[in-house]
Amino acid sequence: MAAASEPVDSGALLGPARPEPPPTRFHRVHGDNIRVDPSGTRATRVESFAHGVCFSREPLAPGQVFLVEIEEKELGWCGHLRLGLTALDPASLAPVPEFSLPDLVNLGHTWVFAITRHHNRVPREGRPEAEAAAPSRPPTLLVEPYLRIEQFRIPRDRLVGRSRPGLYSHLLDQLYELNVLPPTARRSRLGVLFCPRPDGTADMHIIINGEDMGPSARGLPAAQPLYAVVDVFASTKSVRLVQLEYGLPSLQTLCRLVIQRSMVHRLAIDGLHLPKELKDFCKYE
């Protein structure tokens, strides 16, 4: 087991405190084929490939990420998870449309982005589309622990999905320095948020495994309540909500980053004299 020589600057992980929004939950109103668990944090499509539209229980606050992790996949269907925002009150939808695209969008005041295995990045102004679509190497969590989207700074740690280590993880995965999970894979984490602009509108951003895909929709009404939309569609069968830390990182998070930075790869964590639960937390969460 090799240790990194440079010390951990825990101060670099700390930022100005930010008010904690309430925990995210799924709304009681959802598609006919969706079952939400009693905690309101897991949504599963129990049959077919459609009628899987879900909403956040409460409108999102500016900069608040509605983050889900793909828990189960189902073979045999074409298409993947869809994410977005709506200014429609879910309680007013009877029935919930079969699809988010195009049915829910056609009702108006709704913006939905279809996640694909590739080409999720939105071309930015002044950049060629081919450059925007090209895969990039995301910054390491330990060097740049915050994701910056317009005026917001979001701790990156829990935004990134982790694959389960395998026999050759030490060769293929340099302790989360590279995001090896495709956007549509099991354990990938995807989120949606909106960022208000000075003109009273807002931009919608999609986050995939700790990377901002750019403004996927502009001109949203920032003054209106905006609910998250999650369409558990086709090959995506089940998702769970992941809660974020918006203020100072917790002691648990800081300890994990110190442990991770001292290891050359994830499999080396198994050799530490630590409880199994803590080792699993360092490797997977």
Q: Domain coordinates of the chain in residue numbers?
A: 24-120+139-246, 249-284
What is the rounded distance in angstroms from the CA atom of residue 63 to the CA atom of residue 136? 24
User: Regarding predicted confidence, which is higher, 130 or 193?
Assistant: 193
CB proximity list for 274: less than 8 A, separation 6 or greater: 259
Q: What are phi and psi of 132, to 5 degrees?
A: -65, -35
Q: Tell me which DSSP letter residue 101 carries.
A: I
First and final C-alpha spacing in the chain: 22
What is the identity of the amino acid at 180? V
Q: Is domain 24-120+139-246 given the CATH code 3.40.50.10440 in the classification?
A: no
Q: In terms of pLDDT, which residue wins out, 43 or 160? A: 43
The domain 249-284 is classified under which CATH number: 3.30.505, 1.10.750, 1.20.1740, 1.10.8? 1.10.750
266, 165 contact by CB (below 8 A): yes
Who has greater pLDDT, 110 or 158?
110
Residue type, 42: R
pLDDT at 137 over 60: no
Q: What are the tokens at 190?
A: 């995807």
pTM for the full predicted model: 0.80
Whether the pLDDT of residue 52 is over 70: the answer is yes
- Assess contact for 36 and 239: CB atoms under 8 A: no
Q: Give tens-digit pLDDT for 213-231.
A: 999 999 999 999 999 999 9
Residue 176, phi-psi category: left (phi > 0), alpha (psi -120 to 50), beta (remainder): left
pLDDT value of residue 209: 92
Helix (H) or strand (E) holding 130: helix 129-133
> CA–CA separation, 21 vs 60, rounded Å?
9
pLDDT at 108 over 50: yes
Residues 226-266: tens digit of each pLDDT: 999 999 999 999 999 999 988 766 677 777 777 777 776 66
Over residues 262-281, the pLDDT tens digits come to 776 666 777 888 888 777 77
Of 10-24, 149-163, 201-215, 236-250, the poorest mean pLDDT is in 10-24
